Structure 1
């Protein structure tokens, strides 16, 4: 065992982040750490690394265990990106330099016997520690993570994303006992993601992976640990296995909860009946009192099961299509864009009414630029672009730009003209409650900014949605809510994304952009498989009859709307009964209401189980 956490507690400002967290990390495991944004994942990592201390509990680290974690990209003055990668082997590089100095010395002297002995010892150390494969390892990392374009530039001149990728490569080359990676697929293109998955699956290091990338977790993780309500729950297998196990666990918990509630109700009713019988005796019957008291003690000893939350709290996202656009929504023919250099050349693109189209390709291939050309925000150097006259376009940019002097609610009302009360109501649908709506925009996390952008976008009138990396910064629950909302959207949908789960679920047409465009009649997995089979280059004349709301999912969805409506109705009736019970002092009336309440609760529980089993 490399790491063990026992009963860890951690608070910040009086708020409990971890309350009873337990975790063990065994050598060779590849653990995926999941949970909502703010659930304590980053805090947990800092505790493991040792940059934070726990308020309670015990943290065990195996003696001399090495932990690799890239919390912040360090400064590397006077180094190129390639030089930074070579620092993973700094001791071996120093050893190699010493060997070269000895070689130069031996070339100039005749008495080299002693030097040869020293050189031989150094050479043995160098070879045994992999010195002769350093260059091939670094080159493989450069190729795999697609670093070639910028790896030989000064590190300090690189963008944040480029530095992050160099940092990822450095962490992988260091091969620590425990490698902790926080969102490692961020900033990677699709082919680099596939390479990373293969590399990590073959890595001898133990891995702790914080990620919202469901395809990545499916490919790499051997165990999933969920951070929820301050505790850690472990599930064997990859992400898909975790989803199935969690659903079963929730169902089992709900069964246990309902059975215990029935038992508790029965015990309470028996206690009430015993006390009633005791009071009716003349004189009062002490035997019944003792039995009631004994049962009350037994009831108090019962460890009550918390009612499980069957559905995760998610943003309530809904996109409505307002009017039709006409058959041809976007049509680009032989479009070239040049700035200081050519971004892409003779690119063609077509989107018909109701189509769902993904644009993918390597980083730097111009995907966002193509969106801007389609939207009319960037003029092409040459070529023709046409848009439907009746297109009402809703656009979500990956570059979230708000006035940082504003508070959250002000930023929302700047774009959506409603009063404060209505704004707070609408923002609550996106999990902004209470005083959080007055949080300064400059203090919002990336996930909060994205939820604010989605809240604004949802209330704009549109029949075409254009999305640029919409799942960035969103946790898995928010991504699922967005996917469900987009699945219900009846308009035209065009998106740039690196989220393969998102792309596979929603987009049956894929354009691959890499200098020019190739249109694939399938999702991104299909495009990745077929890309090297020399398909025809896409042209605007490849118009296919637009098929509204095409979907790639093959499962049949069971219509549960009637059951859900009935459940809502029963819950309202049940609450009314509870209110009446609170308002009456009539014992006979109270017993009648209790019987009705029990019957309603049983029907509610039955309906919930029915809905769960139909999922």
Structure 2
């Protein structure tokens, strides 16, 4: 049965066309990868599919009554405990459970007609509780929390105290527990450790839900999706195969399209030359037949469906890691560093040495203290014990894990000029190296996709010319 029908959907932001006559179908139970470069329209399409925004033209239809779950931004649960956040998914069943307890108390004192009324209501509430999966709540919650690595201790912590990775896991767990018919997952493996990502792969494969995934994790896509929808230049191309076969088929399709383009260009050139000759002959012989023939050929040329020249290789950002000056031999030193956060020990006697020119990966489970360590390197937090010191002439650059773009109408160009301290002409040249061309520099920063926002922040960071670069996710 059809779950999603998207027919010639168009979407504009201001005068910019983001999606151009996008058409595809997704059927129940399919696992689909939605791919495309930064700013290709993936997040925009997700908003159309979730019903958050309507298309400006065309139609997007979903199966009647389908329950939709969306993972995009981390919601704000305030100081609620993690356990309460997860149990909130079962609000209806828990309300029925509370009512059952109340009815049991009332029935112990009721008699006659009142007791019969309470018994009838109790039976109806019990049926509703069973239908809503009330008896499986705890087992479901334990299975999902365990799979995503949310420990029993973590489930008792306030949501607001969690790290970015931990918040992502809890939000994902709540979404999966909701048992939606259609799941829209935007970069679900971001912030997940390897064990949790492996569990999620298995969950997606075994789930009966229709799932559409946006991800740049090639291995994850290979393991989970059986169909690919690629957004490119505002248009959608559907590949009814897994990720590995998609890559092979795309390469073969580009080669075919390029050959078709070259052959068509030869035909177009020949037709244009013939039209030119006919017009010249018509002028020389004052013969209207040649003009009619030329006009007929021109109409045929105008009606011809043109083959687009395929882009065989997309441009990459011009990343230039230049520094003002080199550091000393020892760049970062940790000696017996200790750090606790809200009563939890994150670092205990940590020892490390990073030397000039080295590249290091900081790995660990969610909540292990990776971001906290980076904040200590930046001087935003102090160790509880031991010593953390930077070497001589170290200039630190930091790309943060959770940094939202400004909510005002500041443009990409204005943002870069302000933070990079640069005049407009040079700023536009620099932004072009980070794939912000032409009118892209006038986009509001608040409307950038996640990838575009990261590119802009990286452009600012490169302008600062750090010699110690910290990249958090």
- 2:35–2:229 Cα contact (<8 Å) kept: yes
Whole-Å Cα distance in 2 between the matches of residues 28 and 402 of structure 1?
Answer: 35
Are residue 174 (structure 1) and residue 181 (structure 2) matched? no
Which residue of 2 is the match for residue 17 of structure 1?
Answer: 18
Measured after TM superposition, the shift of residue 238 of structure 1 is: 3.8
Give the alignment of 1:441-590 within 5 angstroms.
447-461=451-465, 464-469=467-472, 497=473
Measured after TM superposition, the shift of residue 190 of structure 1 is: 3.8
Whole-Å Cα distance in 1 between the matches of residues 253 and 164 of structure 2?
Answer: 41
Give the alignment of 1:280-291 within 5 angstroms.
none
- Specify whether residues 181 and 445 from structure 1 end up closer, same or farther in structure 2 by C-alpha distance, changes over 3 A only: closer
The Cα offsets for residues 262-317 of structure 1, whole Å up to 9 and x where unpaired, read as 1111222233345555666xx56677666545544433332221222333344322
Which residue of 1 is the match for residue 304 of structure 2?
Answer: 302
Choose which of 321, 337, 348 in structure 1 pairs with 2:351: 348
Measured after TM superposition, the shift of residue 352 of structure 1 is: 4.1
- 1:332–1:374 Cα contact (<8 Å) kept: no
Q: Decide which moves more: 325-334 or 103-112.
A: 103-112
Q: Decide which moves more: 41-50 or 396-405.
A: 396-405
Measured after TM superposition, the shift of residue 430 of structure 1 is: 2.3
The Cα offsets for residues 493-527 of structure 1, whole Å up to 9 and x where unpaired, read as xxxx3xxxxxxxxxxxxxxxxxxxxxxxxxxxxxx
Which residue of 2 is the match for residue 31 of structure 1?
Answer: 32
- Specify whether residues 227 and 351 from structure 1 end up closer, same or farther in structure 2 by C-alpha distance, changes over 3 A only: same
Whole-Å Cα distance in 1 between the matches of residues 158 and 324 of structure 2?
Answer: 50
- Specify whether residues 390 and 11 from structure 1 end up closer, same or farther in structure 2 by C-alpha distance, changes over 3 A only: closer
Q: Decide which moves more: 231-240 or 440-449.
A: 440-449
- Specify whether residues 51 and 31 from structure 1 end up closer, same or farther in structure 2 by C-alpha distance, changes over 3 A only: same
- 2:43–2:449 Cα contact (<8 Å) kept: no
The Cα offsets for residues 172-209 of structure 1, whole Å up to 9 and x where unpaired, read as 11212212233333443443333222222211111122
Q: Secondary structure at the match of 1:20?
A: strand
Give the alignment of 1:193-272 within 5 angstroms.
193-272=197-276
Whole-Å Cα distance in 1 between the matches of residues 273 and 405 of structure 2?
Answer: 59
Measured after TM superposition, the shift of residue 246 of structure 1 is: 2.6
Q: Secondary structure at the match of 2:44?
A: helix
- Specify whether residues 422 and 195 from structure 1 end up closer, same or farther in structure 2 by C-alpha distance, changes over 3 A only: same
- Specify whether residues 346 and 142 from structure 1 end up closer, same or farther in structure 2 by C-alpha distance, changes over 3 A only: same
Whole-Å Cα distance in 2 between the matches of residues 64 and 403 of structure 1?
Answer: 36
Whole-Å Cα distance in 2 between the matches of residues 83 and 144 of structure 1?
Answer: 18
Q: Secondary structure at the match of 1:358?
A: coil
- 1:400–1:450 Cα contact (<8 Å) kept: no
Whole-Å Cα distance in 1 between the matches of residues 169 and 18 of structure 2?
Answer: 30
Which residue of 1 is the match for residue 313 of structure 2?
Answer: 311
Whole-Å Cα distance in 1 between the matches of residues 419 and 300 of structure 2?
Answer: 59
- 2:166–2:367 Cα contact (<8 Å) kept: no
Whole-Å Cα distance in 2 between the matches of residues 134 and 324 of structure 1?
Answer: 57
Measured after TM superposition, the shift of residue 54 of structure 1 is: 3.0
- 2:163–2:367 Cα contact (<8 Å) kept: no
- Specify whether residues 446 and 289 from structure 1 end up closer, same or farther in structure 2 by C-alpha distance, changes over 3 A only: closer
Measured after TM superposition, the shift of residue 362 of structure 1 is: 1.9
Whole-Å Cα distance in 2 between the matches of residues 415 and 142 of structure 1?
Answer: 41
- Specify whether residues 363 and 121 from structure 1 end up closer, same or farther in structure 2 by C-alpha distance, changes over 3 A only: same
Whole-Å Cα distance in 1 between the matches of residues 50 and 251 of structure 2?
Answer: 32
- 1:368–1:468 Cα contact (<8 Å) kept: no
- Specify whether residues 416 and 107 from structure 1 end up closer, same or farther in structure 2 by C-alpha distance, changes over 3 A only: closer
Q: RMSD value over aligned CA atoms?
A: 4.2
Measured after TM superposition, the shift of residue 27 of structure 1 is: 0.7
Are residue 137 (structure 1) and residue 140 (structure 2) matched? yes
Which residue of 2 is the match for residue 612 of structure 1?
Answer: none
| Uncovered stretches (5+) of structure 1, i.e. residues with no partner | 470-496, 498-615
- 2:164–2:401 Cα contact (<8 Å) kept: no
Measured after TM superposition, the shift of residue 357 of structure 1 is: 1.6
Measured after TM superposition, the shift of residue 359 of structure 1 is: 0.4
TM-score under structure 1 length normalisation = 0.63
Give the alignment of 1:415-426 within 5 angstroms.
416=420, 418-426=422-430
- Specify whether residues 169 and 398 from structure 1 end up closer, same or farther in structure 2 by C-alpha distance, changes over 3 A only: closer
Q: Secondary structure at the match of 2:348?
A: strand
TM-score under structure 2 length normalisation = 0.80
Which residue of 2 is the match for residue 554 of structure 1?
Answer: none
Q: Decide which moves more: 166-175 or 110-119.
A: 110-119
Whole-Å Cα distance in 2 between the matches of residues 6 and 250 of structure 1?
Answer: 24
Q: Secondary structure at the match of 1:39?
A: coil
Measured after TM superposition, the shift of residue 134 of structure 1 is: 1.6
Whole-Å Cα distance in 2 between the matches of residues 54 and 442 of structure 1?
Answer: 20
Whole-Å Cα distance in 1 between the matches of residues 208 and 281 of structure 2?
Answer: 71
Are residue 429 (structure 1) and residue 445 (structure 2) matched? no
- 1:400–1:449 Cα contact (<8 Å) kept: no
- Specify whether residues 412 and 44 from structure 1 end up closer, same or farther in structure 2 by C-alpha distance, changes over 3 A only: closer
Whole-Å Cα distance in 2 between the matches of residues 199 and 344 of structure 1?
Answer: 32
Larger RCO (alpha carbons 8 Å, 6+ apart): 2
Q: Secondary structure at the match of 1:227?
A: strand
The Cα offsets for residues 132-191 of structure 1, whole Å up to 9 and x where unpaired, read as 322011112222333445433456787887665444322211212212233333443443
Whole-Å Cα distance in 2 between the matches of residues 294 and 355 of structure 1?
Answer: 68
The Cα offsets for residues 89-138 of structure 1, whole Å up to 9 and x where unpaired, read as 34433444455456667778999999999978876775576433220111
- Specify whether residues 241 and 106 from structure 1 end up closer, same or farther in structure 2 by C-alpha distance, changes over 3 A only: same
